[in-house]
Amino acid sequence: MSTFLITGASRGLGKGFLVLLLQRPNTTVIAAIRNPAKFTAELEAIPKASGAKLIIVKLDGAIDSDAALAVQELQTKHNITSLDVVVANAAIADPTPILENDPGSIREHFQTNAIAPLQLLKATKPLLQASKTGSPSYIAISSIAGSIEAQELITQYPIDMSPYGASKAALNWFVRRAHFEEKWLTTVALHPGYVLTDLAPGAADDLRDADLKDQKPMSPENSAGSLLEFSSLGHERAWEGSSSSGTASLCLGEGLDPESVRIKSP
């Protein structure tokens, strides 16, 4: 039995992961969300394969201690002794021109999009080390908006990328650094592609109205399905600045074979 933990699993891409993973037999999926009282009934209604199990715990990225408390609850209340894959998906986005950024908004973005995923990795480390697969993975849902090299490329999008992009750049750094410091763990930052979610309500409308002929939006489920096929075999990739269209893609660094970075279904 494989065990996954997904943050931000109440809607959008996170819920897409949840829907797909619960279709796998004998899989435990942990939905770590800010407001369990609001979403528990909806999430528990998701169809499940034989032996699939859903656990819901509270985790608010704005609260530094929440990740550790969620892990404690998993261990003491739900008898979770190991994790195989952790997906740090929860994020916020409030698109603003760079010189109009409010310091408070910048701090909020860095807290949720960069610091909280790092706190999650710290808290889940013992459970990941106990993975029964012997090859645990930490997957951070990032964005091409966090690529310094790709800034010129993404000007084609009619939305501002700050402070969201800066916070994702910090996340990318943490994930890459973790590769060198935590050699036992597969760490990877993935760009989900053009996905229509309510992460930034105004941004989604702008993208629909834009003349982006080669950019086909994906449903959260389609994006999540593509992302579940990607992982790393001990390598990290730098963002190349390549565009993602039609399918979710990972920007691979030079010399890496795309076939070497696929997650195998458990």
Catalytic residue of the set 125, 157, 168, 194: 168
Residue 171 C-beta-side C-alpha neighbours within 13 Å = 38
Distance CA 97, CA 84 (A): 39
Distance CA 68, CA 213 (A): 44
Q: Residue written as tokens 């435990």?
A: 28
Are the CB atoms for 247 and 193 separated by under 8 Å? yes
Catalytic residue of the set 122, 164, 213, 264: 164
Write the DSSP assignment of 152-221 as a string of letters: TGGGGSSS--BTHHHHHHHHHHHHHHHHHH-TTSEEEEEB--SB--SSSHHHHHHHHHS--TT---B-HH
Residue 53 falls in the annotated catalytic set: no
Would strands 85-88 and 137-141 be described as parallel, antiparallel, or unpaired? parallel
Distance CA 13, CA 193 (A): 11
State whether residue 256 is helix, strand or coil. coil
Local structure of residue 251 (DSSP, 8 states): -
Distance CA 105, CA 94 (A): 8
Distance CA 29, CA 85 (A): 10
Residue 164 falls in the annotated catalytic set: yes
Judge residue 168's burial from the number of C-beta atoms within 10 Å of its C-beta, 0-12 exposed, 13-18 middle, 19 or more buried.
buried
Amino acid at residue number 82: S
Please list the active-site residues: 164, 168
